[in-house]
Structure 1
């Protein structure tokens, strides 16, 4: 079976990353799942951005171009302009898109402080209830404490532990939390790690794949999901149709 396709930060090659436009683009591009990154603002609001600051993603003409998400309020973040006139979304708004389209979502908790609130929001929106064996939402994170906090609040929401390189501490964490999946960096992925994960009962996500060679290797290794900035390209490449060269 071919792996399912996860739209990275919505569809980061098709629209400004982690914006509402990107998540709509991911849906339109046929992503099987979406992925977003969550931080907590200074006044306790769940906001969508990959970095800890707005510095990299703020547009040149943004009224506010620098600052840490943890130090900025939601009102201040509302003044930030992103490329193409986009704004910093809330997690609620991203979930509206995912739920409206019926597309499951990986919610990557970037700040430990956001973990409990994220898990509770997913519960409040009934995204902790699987239908026909398909989970509508996952919580994923590089941070062990974020995963532990999420598990404590919502034990029914599946977890994925994320890492660049899977060392013994990582495998111990996945075993401790009984994570349903592990998410491994494709460029640093030994063949043996996929087999080890499957033997332990974890699904395997490989990230981030935008070229044909690593995509084909991921398929050969038998990973369960692949994360790409361009879900439409990944779909064509998996189908063996259209232009599948490096993006």
Structure 2
């Protein structure tokens, strides 16, 4: 069997699950199914892109799963692995179809592939619906991510168009006159869109090199939760080694009025990060005031981290570090303040409380009695800000929205990265507003926020971002324009050559066929 015959056999078998040639009447819907395969492949790639860029916020979707099921599983990784398998399957199927087109084989998609493709469409539609209904705040990351990836996606699209053009040209020369016009119009329209889309591309990283802002400072989100159990002293100590300039945490008050560190509240209180079920099997806790500080201290706040491995990072820890993590307890706010005072590190926190007024008084008293420099306290809770200003005027007031900041003539803003456009960040920085963005974990997003001019970022991955000495990419607008034009010109030249070569090959083929026919008739 020749190599050509082997390729025909394999591509036909894997695409059609038929090992013999197909009759014309069996492939009458082949073009429609080929179009369907192409569309599902593009959809799966787009969905995979969404999954990759939302990886930064994987903890959010896992948290939502825990809130509803009270069972901590890395649901995001389950989804992203399924999406990767689907995208790989669709792309391979499309490649087999293109091989068949190149080899002159008829297309006939097997019914099993059709079922899998429909399931793929349902899976993608369910994912989009799920985000739209339950995670709608995540959609802004998609256009934001394009500011980091669009220039390179365009270069990739130019390359893919160039590689796929011979298949289009072959189909063009085989088609009838009416179909030729349709193919030509569609191909020219797609090519023009790909070649000219840089006219619409903008990114904060398209700047002159000497205009690159200072690297954003790092704030440890509940410490260093990839290296140690969140909101434990081990976690905050690990973040000190990362060079963070502030600790971010969450404060609640016990039954006996001791401020302590814990994020989860309401019905999830203590369930995810402690062994409260084991220690108090008959208890039902939905509020920090249900337990005294002594009872809270009896809980283990680290074993869950080793068991669930929420960031798949436990394997990076030594046996000694694992043992330390297993024996963590819930820390008090005073313990954190003493650590911050020792290393001259700031503290910023959310306050979860149904009695903001009384709790604010106790927390402010705890901070003032700790002896920490007031300028190291970045005060975020909005409820009793007036009282805090009068009692502790040295605290730096941070705001979670621009309107309140402007009304109170502040100049420190703490917001989710997707709620401020990069242009807005740049504008605020020009007005000398300190902008902290949360939660930034992935390097590409950190690079984008760096180019935009963020003052600092709250992160789970301080150990990774501390070693980032330069954004992933920075390019001057002039360099990008030249690179874009050269890439487009090279693609056009190559496709022109391929078109002429395919046309010449077809003419030679038809010429040989005519000569063979004439010789047979003469004989």
State the shift of 1:196 in Å: 5.2
CA distance in 2, matches of 1:85, 1:223: 37
Would you say how many aligned residue pairs link Structure 1 and Structure 2?
227
Work out whether 1:63 is the aligned partner of 2:279.
yes
Residue 30 of structure 1 corresponds to 243
Give the superposition deviation at 1:86: 1.2
- Please say which of residues 84-93 and 146-155 is displaced more in the overlay: 146-155
TM-score between the two structures when normalised by the length of structure 2: 0.40
Please, what TM-score do these two structures have when normalized by structure 1? 0.81
What residue number does 2:174 align with?
none
**CA 1:194/1:88 → structure 2, altered by over 3 Å: closer, same or farther?**
same
Judged with a 3 Å threshold, the aligned counterparts in structure 2 of structure 1 residues 75 and 4 are, in CA distance, closer, same or farther, namely: same
CA distance change for structure 1 residues 180 and 51 in 2, over 3 Å: closer, same or farther?
farther
CA deviations over 1:95-140 (Å, ceiling 9, x no partner): 11111222222233333243222223322334344xxxxx322122
Q: Give me the whole-angstrom Cα distance separating, in 2, the residues matched to 1:227 and 1:26.
A: 12
Cα RMSD (Å) of the superposition? 2.4
Deviation at 1:30, TM superposition (A): 1.9
Give the CA deviation at 1:31.
Answer: 1.4
Deviations, residues 54-106 of structure 1 (Å, cap 9, x unaligned) = 12211487414762213222122122211222111100111111112222222
Q: Which residue in the other structure is 2:299 paired with?
A: 80
Relative contact order: is structure 1 or structure 2 higher (C-alpha 8 Å, sep ≥ 6)?
1
Change beyond 3 A, Cα 1:179–1:72: farther
Give the structure with the higher percent helix. Answer: 2
Residue ranges of structure 2 left out of the alignment (5+ in a row): 1-213, 303-325, 473-523
2:380 paired residue among 140, 143, 146 = 140
Matched, 1:212 2:428: no
Moved more, 19-28 or 181-190: 181-190
> Does the Cα contact within 8 Å between 2:429 and 2:454 map onto a contact in 1?
no
Does the Cα contact within 8 Å between 2:261 and 2:332 map onto a contact in 1? Answer: yes
Q: 2:433 aligns with which of 178, 194, 202?
A: 202
Residues 196 and 72 (structure 1), Cα distance of their counterparts in 2 relative to 1, 3 Å cut: farther
Name the SS of the counterpart of 2:467 in structure 1: helix
For 2:362 and 2:301, how far apart are their aligned partners in 1? 25
Shift of 1:171: 2.6
Greater gyration radius: 2
Higher mean Cα deviation, 51-60 or 224-233? 51-60
For structure 1, list consecutive stretches of 5 or more residues without a partner in the other structure.
130-134, 163-169, 242-247
